[in-house]
Amino acid sequence: MTKPEGWPDGVRLAVHDLIDSTNEEARRLTAAGEAGPLWIVAREQFAGRGRRGRTWVSTTGNLFATLMTHAEQPIAAQLAFAAGLAVAQTVDSYCSPGDVTLKWPNDVLLRGAKVAGILLESLNADTLAIGVGVNLARHPEGTEFPATSIAALTGFAPDTGEAMTRLAGCMAAWYEVWWMSGFAPIRAAWLQRAAGLQGWVRARLEGREMEGVFEDIDTDGALLLRDAAGARVRITAGEVFFPAT
């Protein structure tokens, strides 16, 4: 497929009008021997999903894409933070500076509401699917954590092809940083955008919840929470919510 102007070198592109899920297509391609790097883009999905098996509402006009790329376990999970930075920079292109923050572990916020989500799935020992959904034109209503879109804030919906090219370029740059220098610069850049840092948060874990101060993320990307008793708790998986204002 012909790549658009500005597309990063060495990264292939496959675009589908309709598909079940870009992550599922990445899984099928991996089983068939593909290795990437390859961006799989869908104009519409009929079985999109988010973290923990949730349905991702896949409305035409939004951006749905998956990057198949090389990343060995267990450090592959660090690329969720690189992807968050790439998505944040993409959204930055259409909004005012300071509007875009990052919510641990995999969400991008626009003025405090979710505008994008990221889903990482291991395809084999050294191939990773990085699924990205960005609300360019529309967003779901009535979600537990408030959602928004770029169009809701700015009054216009970015072109999906243009936004995808921006995202691919930003992700290629952050992947190069990660590949050459490891997680440390990714972690530092992510913390500069972290929503709720040094504030009181509620963390929903498997089967329980806890509250405390979001102090940091460690060198593996785990959230470090100081609970009410003063103990520092390391959280590797869960969801974060902020106090109502």
- Which ranges constitute the DSSP H helices of the chain? 22-31, 79-92, 150-154, 160-181, 184-192
What is the rounded CA–CA span in Å between residue 135 and residue 148? Answer: 7
pLDDT reading at 151 higher than 70 = yes
Q: Are 187 and 81 in contact (CB under 8 A)?
A: yes
Q: Which of 152, 177, 131, 181 is nearest to 61 (CA)?
A: 152
Under 8 Å CB-to-CB from 181, ≥6 apart: which residues? none
Which domains does the chain show, CATH number per domain? 12-192 (3.30.930.10), 200-241 (2.30.30.100)
Per-residue pLDDT reduced to its tens digit, 202-212: 999 988 999 99
Look at residue 35 in the predicted model and tell me its pLDDT.
87
The tokens describing 40, both together, are: 């799989």
pTM for this entry: 0.94
Cα distance between residue 176 and residue 11, in whole Å: 12
pLDDT surpassing 90 at residue 148: yes
Is pLDDT above 60 for 50? no
| Number of helical (H) and strand (E) elements in the chain, helices listed first | 5, 12
* Strand pairing report for 100-103 and 63-70: unpaired
What's the start-to-end Cα distance of the chain, in Å?
Answer: 48
Res. 245 pLDDT band, cuts 50 70 90 = very low
Q: pLDDT by residue (tens digit) across 178-221?
A: 999 999 999 999 999 999 999 999 999 988 999 999 999 999 99
Whether 44 has a pLDDT exceeding 80, the answer reads yes
Q: In degrees to the nearest 10, what's the CA dihedral of 164, 120, 48, 28?
A: 90
